[in-house]
Copies of this chain bind each other. A is one copy, B any other.
Amino acid sequence: MKKTTQFRKMLLSKELEFIMEAHNGLSAKIVEEAGFKGIWGSGLSISAALGVRDNNEASWTQVLDVLEFMSDATTIPILLDGDTGYGNFNNMRRLVKKLEQRDVAAVCIEDKLFPKTNSFIGGENQPLADIDEFSGKIKAAKDTQQDPDFSVVARLEAFIAGWGLDEALRRADAYHNAGADAILCHSKKADSSDVDAFMKEWGDRCPVIIVPTKYYSTPTDHFRDLGVSMAIWANHNMRASIKVMQDTTKRIYDDQSLINVEGNVVTVSEVFRIQGADELKEAEKLYLPTTGKKVNNIILA
């Protein structure tokens, strides 16, 4: 099944679905191998992994290059955290075209201004996009996509920016009318009250996605009861990696030895397995001549 169709089915299913963050080809593969049905291409995680800030410091094509490796490495759909679309409606059109080419199933854009700042950094002071301008961006994206199953998700920053339920609903409605396939209702509260309020009023006008990074202690069944369509585990592979790399590096530095680390890392063979070394070995049998080492020298040329 096409990745776009897989993602569309998740959005429309009656179940609460889950997607998990990845930030490069390796983590994307791990997400797929764990059984997840979809991947969140987190802007925070991708920027952090690259070593830059979550403020559009990496260009949109540098992000696209990361996405391409992620998409090539996996068979499940990716929802890209596309920030503000990296400019205006025209930049958004180019983004959609490129994402479809790279077999990325869906993109989420947020109603803020370019260049963006992460929502958890002084979010309450961040100006929102003009509603009509943002709606035009959604419309442009939908008109651009070639594959009818490609999805565009509109992310509400109203709660983050300190506006109330009314503004959130007004915007969600406009974005939905502009063609958004789902609304991502973002909140930075430690409880789910923003989402609770929104879901109660929104009903089932279109699927709603949430990101429980700050309200992680809310039981998942509560989201089921609310009728949420999808939950995103947004940045935990990256945050787990940081912790373990800090610990591993420090341990090796202090010990001047690998001896205490060896048991806590995967084997080199496991790395080769994830990379697909076996497939290449089989392919060499098919496509490389076998007339001995001397010829081999030339063959590998």
Interfacial residues, chain A to chain B (CB-CB below 8 A): 18, 20, 24-31, 33-36, 44, 47-57, 59-62, 65, 69-70, 72-73, 86-91, 93-94, 97, 101-103, 113-115, 118, 120-122, 125, 127, 129-130, 132-133, 136-137, 139-140, 143, 212-213, 216-217, 219-220, 233, 235-250, 252-253, 256-259, 261-262, 264-268, 270-272, 274-277, 280-281, 283, 286-289, 291, 293, 295-301
Contact = CB atoms under 8 A, between A and B. Distances in A.
Nearest to A122: B281
Contact of A51 (B26, B118, B257, B297): B26
Contact of A293 (B125, B217, B235, B259): B125
Contacts of A143: 286
B272 A121 contact: yes
A37 to B, nearest CB: 10
Contact of A133 (B33, B132, B288): B288
B243 A265 contact: yes
Contacts of A132: 289, 291, 295, 299
Nearest to A25: B51
Nearest to A253: B34
Please give the count of copies of this chain that the complex contains: 4
A49 B24 contact: yes
Considering residues A118, A245, A276, which has the most beta carbons from chain B within 10 angstroms of its beta carbon? A245
Given A24-B50, A90-B287, A133-B289, 5 more contacts: A51-B70, A89-B283, A115-B300, A242-B265, A298-B301
A229 to B, nearest CB: 14
Contacts of A69: 50-52
Contacts of A219: 257
A280 B59 contact: no
A56 to B, nearest CB: 6
Given A24-B49, A25-B50, A52-B69, A236 B252 contact: yes
Top 4 nearest A-B pairs (CB, nearest first) are A25-B51, A51-B73, A239-B265, A132-B289
20 contacts: A20-B252, A24-B24, A26-B50, A26-B245, A52-B69, A57-B91, A59-B86, A65-B65, A88-B301, A90-B287, A101-B103, A121-B272, A127-B300, A132-B291, A133-B301, A139-B286, A213-B268, A216-B258, A237-B248, A239-B265
Given A30-B242, A51-B29, A289-B132, A299 B88 contact: yes
A242 B259 CA distance: 18
A274 B48 contact: yes
Contacts of A212: 258
